[in-house]
Amino acid sequence: MSTPKIALVTGGGSGLGRVIATALAGAGYRVVVSGRTASTLARVPDADPVVADVTDAEAVRALFDHVASRYGRLDVLVNNAGVFGPGGPADELSDEDWQAVVDTNLTGSFRCARAAFRLMKAQDPRGGRIINNGSVSAHVPRPNAVAYTATKHAVTGLTKALALEGRAHDIAVSQLDIGNAATDLTESFASGTLQADGSLRPEPTMDARHVGDMVVHMAQLPLTANVAFLTLMATTMPYLGRG
């Protein structure tokens, strides 16, 4: 019987994080889930829950120390922790709200990737895979979402830089850009969401399980192959073209 591979999913207690963690566990991975709330992490089936806030550098260090000491290696990191932040015009966004989104979506992703690199470079056999949760907002913004959009564009740069550096160490780095997966966060889309032309229109969603299935597919590729960027979206969402 082969030894299970080890996966870590940040922001794994709810929403897409829980879907991804559950899919990886179902595919035979030993899954560590991290997040800020113990009660939600405890409800993720077949997972090892660790309370850790990616905006806290010491908490991130402790999280990866836990992975290293308990499992001896890390095969897959899913950088999923993220926040949308308060919506509204750019000129009304406070410094504090801007920084909170940057600290989670960008700096948090960097901290976890940095820790994963250190572990993956040193382990035997070396290497592993990092999958960053991008968003279609890494390409096209929604109205009144400047902080979220800016950080997701920055995650694309982070993915490219890490993928380049990872080549020498058998570390494959990918980005999954998700559009309108059905979660609590997108529940309101059915009743209407603000469009670029100022109108309020309903938007379709897709089953979030497709996200988990796609992460499993990307994770199971050999380290000699990599899906660098992949967009997974509800087919008829207003994204391509003019809507």
Instruction: State residue 146's pLDDT score.
Output: 98
pTM of the entire predicted model = 0.96
Q: What residue ranges do the domains of the chain occupy?
A: 6-233
- At residue 35, does pLDDT exceed 90? yes
- With cut-offs at 50, 70 and 90, classify the pLDDT of residue 241: confident
Which is the catalytic residue, given 29, 71, 148, 239? 148
- With cut-offs at 50, 70 and 90, classify the pLDDT of residue 243: low
The two structure tokens encoding residue 86: 């308060």
Query: How far apart are the C-alpha atoms of 113 and 130, rounded to whole Å?
Result: 7
Instruction: State residue 183's pLDDT score.
Output: 87
Instruction: State residue 242's pLDDT score.
Output: 62
Looking at the structure, give the CATH architecture of the domain made up of residues 6-233: 3-Layer(aba) Sandwich (3.40)
* Reduced 3-state DSSP string for the chain: CCCCCEEEEECCCCHHHHHHHHHHHHCCCEEEEEECCHHHHCCCCCEEEEECCCCCHHHHHHHHHHHHHHHCCCCEEEECCCCCCCCCCHHHCCHHHHHHHHHHHHHHHHHHHHHHHHHHHHCCCCCEEEEEECCHHHCCCCCCCHHHHHHHHHHHHHHHHHHHHHHHHCEEEEEEEEECECCHHHHHHHHCEECCCCCEECCCCECCHHHHHHHHHHHHCCCCCCCCEEEEECCCCCCCCCC
Task: Taking residues 51-58, report their average pLDDT.
Answer: 98
Task: Taking residues 96-100, report their average pLDDT.
Answer: 98
Arithmetic mean of pLDDT over the chain: 96
Instruction: State residue 25's pLDDT score.
Output: 98
Is 71 assigned a catalytic role? no
Residue type, 35: G
